[in-house]
Structure 1
Amino acid sequence: MTATNRRIQRALVSVYDKTGIEGLADAFIKAGTEVVSTGSTAERLSELGVNVTEVQTVTGFPESLGGRVKTLDPHIHAGILADMTNPTQAEELKSLGIKSFDMVIVNLYPFADTVRSGADEADIIEKIDIGGPSMIRGAAKNSASVAVITDPEDYALAAQRVADGSGFSLQERRWLASKAFATTAAYDATIFEWTGSHWTEPQSISASDKVGSESTTQNTETKQSQQQDRNIAMFPPHLTHTWDYSHGLRYGENPHQQASLYVDALDQTGFAHAQQLGGKPMSYNNYVDADAAWRAVWDFAPQIAVAVCKHNNPCGLAIGKDVVQAHLKAHACDPMSAYGGVIAANSTVTLEMAQNVRPIFTEVIVAPDYEPEALELLKAHKKNLRILKVAQSPHTDVQFRQIDGGILVQSIDKIDAPGDNPDQWKLVSGETAEADTLSDLVFAWRAIRCVKSNAVLLAHNQATVGIGMGQVNRVDSCHLAVERANTLANGENRACGSVAASDAFFPFADGAEALIDAGVKAIVQPGGSIRDQEVIDVAQKHGITMYLTGTRHFFH
């Protein structure tokens, strides 16, 4: 013990989740601790043999408004907030006839659980805890005198310190207070996440004059203009969000890096909540690659698609009449790089597909479901294969990326811009594409979204045949796409007769020339370069069909 340890002689206990409360009850009985408690918590402690004083006995006021008001009373909060190391406050509390608390044990109404359950708005609102956070914050503020327990994992420690009479030192109380503030911060952030998406700004406010009088300063006008130009729901004044710790990972991208998975408090359907049906535990890189592959295949829904990804890039992507055909076509793009890759399908994995996957060394396979025979085969013959089942397609709308000292926020890049509609494409060279060629161009354009920039992709028969990705100039990406198309297929010249997509404009004509020289018959690209006409002239010279989309799909 230290000079700052304070024995737990009087405790306030109010918990919604009563798991583990038995150990605390035994300690209270052993130490003769005076216990004040609320409603159902008082009932449970009494059942366990604790001599409990109900809150309403202390306040002299009954629980009211359907339980909304229980502990919001000076007789409770003065007892929590009085700094008993301060003689003046200790004397004042005594003069008021109020007794201090040495420990406050509180856990909160399950707001996130209620939202996830699909409850209606009225039930969700009732699970916004008011008294609980107030008691926690008061006790945490007054850590000079009070030990606050919010984490059930700390119940055993609290019970030990009550039973042996040692209490907690000041340093320990400060640590518990910090955990308590984290609890209330995460709780409020979760509430804001829900209210921010459900209680949006009404038109009656957004249509009003927010600038004010003519005397408003220029700075205020500028600030107001910026606020009006932005999507407040997506870019609020304060970015508050919370993720809950799920589990630790063996390491991060490299063995010397530490890593863990956190999950959205209100979302149990996203990829982070994938059900693992077999194989080794997921790694950091597994999650990154599998998430990229999962997003890629859903760009083609409702068509059946399969992606094979490696290092957050596709090494094969295809659509087919069934999942078996789609997988075979995707794998054929780059069988060498598929080794140790990730396979994603937006359709149920069949036994036949599983048989085709069996001889391929694969780190992860992810799909919405598996035929029982397919799952049995994969689990029996590929012990290390991580088999993931994700019931829902990707639905995240906002993307975060940390930089030193800040965070970047943007809407997720999807195939939903005006230029993603082939009806909006502008034909600038050659003949209008025939149906099969146009179909391949549309496929290539959708596929380019998931390729790291600079990206150039060759496609034929609704499948990738060559991908150039991640190069620092576009002409290198063009040469790489052609090279991979022609060197990974047993000498077959797959570039000839294929179509090409570029995720951004050609800054010079050399990239387009490289594709045309390789036999590409049609190209789709955003346009927008100051040298667009030079690129178009090259296409026209060779009679190549070229479309401009006006939309870009960079992926950094």
Structure 2
Amino acid sequence: MLALLSVSDKRGLVPFAQGLVRRGFRLLSTGGTLAALQAAGVPATKVSEHTQSPEILGGRVKTLHPRIHGGLLGRLEREEDRAEMAAHGIEPISLVAVNLYPFRQTVASGASEAEVIEQIDIGGPAMVRAAAKNSRHVTVVVDPDDYDAVLAELEKSGGVGDETRRKLMRKAFAHTAAYDAAIAGWLAGQAQEPFPEELSLPFRKAQGLRYGENPHQRGAFYREHSAPSEPSVAFSKVLQGKELSYNNILDLDAALGLVLEFPEQPCAIIIKHNTPCGVAVDSELERAYRTARAADEVSAFGGIVALNREVDEACAKALAETFLEAIIAPTYSAAALQVLSAKKNLRLLEAGPALASPQARPRVQLDARSVSGGLLLQDKDAAEPPLEWKIVTKRHPTAEEEKALCFAWKVCKHVKSNAIVFSSGDRLLAAGGGQTSRVDSVKIAAGRGGPALKGSAVASDAFFPFRDGLDEAARAGATCVIQPGGSVRDAELIAAADEHGLAMVLTGVRHFRH
């Protein structure tokens, strides 16, 4: 029996090869894989010796040969295939262990375009696809994590069963599809083409989930093959707690996205059902968290928290006072971990030191949403708060009001439309969103904020279609307003703001979030 081994990921290679030899396989190999086997004393034949054809073009052509692909594709149940293989001296290949050139790793390393292109594997995918197509006779292994199972089955029954070979076939085609998707994505990026005619999304399953949004829905979590340089939920380290749920992951991502809006100061975010219910900045992280929690202590119960500085003991003690589902932070001190370890089910995620950087910013990326029969794709809403805005009222905002307007505008982007946010310069006071009318969102926020809204700034993610929403905001205590403008009734809104003595600025930028 012949087995062909040619891998870039050499985890477990030598023990696997030794196991195959013990079970009667003769090994074919190439390049670095052959060198690794020979260094370990594992007998293997160079592919060029087997094919009696030299490697050419600097190693670009090694395995693209009838003695390789005929050995992989021969249908041994057919007499005519067996006869043709015998006539051409082609021996069947029973097992292939191949994983592909490290294309993604080369891209991530910052290599030149020529170096990246050289890591586009040709022979490897051809062998994987050939072996997978002929899975009735060939076992194809693309993941080193499957080596032990294959060896165990060979030990137990002397061969690899149909069910296992079909499972490995599915995995092989997924492997080459993801590889090609990574290449297509890189090429689109090189051409600065975010929306190509044919879209492939290469993601790898990170974990199965107990269920989706609800227990009757199935769920799984996928992530990119390579970790981004920016903080992310997908590549954060889980330090303790129950398994993350579908809803936990959604809320953690929402919390992380919002905390990245405030990199300059210690910031605390509390998210409930994908909506901010507490946001605050302060010179001390503990105070920022306590201030954020005070905005809506009822909603904070069972919430998700994001913090942008290391959690120290004082902050950990404050966090432990309330039942929380999960916390994501750059790092945790040893004393903080000891305090929070008492909360056995509390999920702690460590996003890494980059989250604590004053230069940390939301990652610019694409946002995908499925619809029946299709996919919507857009840029993430990464618009920065306006550095210049148009003041349209008689009264101009004060310096303190400008600070509050900027704060409210940052938060407003993360609230479901129709979004209304009341804030001061350092904290969320109240928010209303997800309503079918803007005035209802104002009323909800006003009811939550109460007397605390006196002297506040109010942000609206889109223009006020009528003055009623503005009237309600003024009645609640707002003294300044930030909104995109662009309504046919802008003049009426400006007159209403002047009537209330409000300062109002227009941004020309809308922040719908459906």
Change (3 A) 1:28 1:422: closer
Once the two structures are TM-superposed, the CA of residue 57 in structure 1 deviates from its matched residue by: 1.6
Correspondence for 1:188: 180
Give the alignment partner of residue 410 of structure 2, picking from 443, 446, 451: 446
Change (3 A) 1:250 1:62: same
Correspondence for 2:430: 466
Q: Which runs of 5+ in 1 are unaligned?
A: 1-8, 201-231, 487-492
Q: Is the 8 A contact 1:85 1:144 kept in 2?
A: no
Tell whether 2:504 aligns with 1:546: yes
Q: Is the 8 A contact 2:405 2:425 kept in 1?
A: no
Change (3 A) 1:358 1:149: closer
In structure 2, what residue type is equivalent to 1:378? Answer: L
1:450 aligned counterpart, secondary structure: coil
Once the two structures are TM-superposed, the CA of residue 173 in structure 1 deviates from its matched residue by: 4.6
Q: Is the 8 A contact 1:18 1:41 kept in 2?
A: no
Correspondence for 1:215: none
Q: Is the 8 A contact 1:115 1:266 kept in 2?
A: no
Distance (whole Å) between structure 1 residues aligned to residue 426 and residue 164 of structure 2 = 63
Correspondence for 1:22: 15
Distance (whole Å) between structure 1 residues aligned to residue 96 and residue 316 of structure 2 = 55
Tell whether 2:379 aligns with 1:387: no
Distance (whole Å) between structure 2 residues aligned to residue 340 and residue 361 of structure 1 = 5
Change (3 A) 1:100 1:252: same
Q: Is the 8 A contact 2:188 2:194 kept in 1?
A: no
Q: Identify the range of structure 1 (99-108 vs 282-291) with the bigger mean alpha-carbon deviation.
A: 99-108
Correspondence for 1:430: 394
Give the alignment partner of residue 304 of structure 2, picking from 330, 342, 347: 342
Correspondence for 2:465: 507
Once the two structures are TM-superposed, the CA of residue 373 in structure 1 deviates from its matched residue by: 3.0
Q: Is the 8 A contact 2:395 2:498 kept in 1?
A: no
Distance (whole Å) between structure 2 residues aligned to residue 549 and residue 436 of structure 1 = 18
In structure 1, what residue type is equivalent to 2:482? Answer: V
Distance (whole Å) between structure 2 residues aligned to residue 162 and residue 356 of structure 1 = 56
Q: Is the 8 A contact 1:27 1:160 kept in 2?
A: no
Cα deviations by residue, 1:476-497 (Å, 9 ceiling, x for unpaired)? 10101110001xxxxxx11222
Distance (whole Å) between structure 2 residues aligned to residue 160 and residue 374 of structure 1 = 44
Once the two structures are TM-superposed, the CA of residue 325 in structure 1 deviates from its matched residue by: 3.2
Distance (whole Å) between structure 2 residues aligned to residue 358 and residue 530 of structure 1 = 50
Distance (whole Å) between structure 2 residues aligned to residue 317 and residue 163 of structure 1 = 59
Distance (whole Å) between structure 1 residues aligned to residue 443 and residue 96 of structure 2 = 67
Change (3 A) 1:191 1:509: same
Correspondence for 1:95: 87
Once the two structures are TM-superposed, the CA of residue 348 in structure 1 deviates from its matched residue by: 2.6
**What's the TM-score, normalizing by structure 2?**
0.89
- Cα RMSD of the aligned pairs, angstroms, is 2.7
Change (3 A) 1:322 1:173: closer
**What's the TM-score, normalizing by structure 1?**
0.83
Give the alignment partner of residue 412 of structure 1, picking from 380, 399, 407: 380
Once the two structures are TM-superposed, the CA of residue 263 in structure 1 deviates from its matched residue by: 1.4
In structure 2, what residue type is equivalent to 1:383? Answer: K
1:546 aligned counterpart, secondary structure: strand
Distance (whole Å) between structure 2 residues aligned to residue 26 and residue 519 of structure 1 = 76
Q: Is the 8 A contact 1:25 1:49 kept in 2?
A: no
Change (3 A) 1:448 1:60: same
Once the two structures are TM-superposed, the CA of residue 165 in structure 1 deviates from its matched residue by: 6.8
Distance (whole Å) between structure 2 residues aligned to residue 385 and residue 447 of structure 1 = 26
Q: Is the 8 A contact 1:104 1:147 kept in 2?
A: yes
Task: For 1:108-123, list aligned pairs within 5 A.
Answer: 108-116=100-108
In structure 2, what residue type is equivalent to 1:309? Answer: I
Once the two structures are TM-superposed, the CA of residue 39 in structure 1 deviates from its matched residue by: 4.2
Change (3 A) 1:382 1:238: same
Q: Is the 8 A contact 2:420 2:433 kept in 1?
A: yes
Correspondence for 2:315: 353
Task: Give aligned-pair identity as a percent.
Answer: 42
Distance (whole Å) between structure 1 residues aligned to residue 35 and residue 106 of structure 2 = 24
Q: Is the 8 A contact 2:96 2:141 kept in 1?
A: yes
Task: For 1:55-454, list aligned pairs within 5 A.
Answer: 55-116=47-108, 124-143=116-135, 145-159=137-151, 162=154, 167=159, 173-197=165-189, 199-200=190-191, 233-269=193-229, 270-379=232-341, 381-391=342-352, 392=354, 393=360, 394-416=362-384, 420-423=385-388, 425-454=389-418
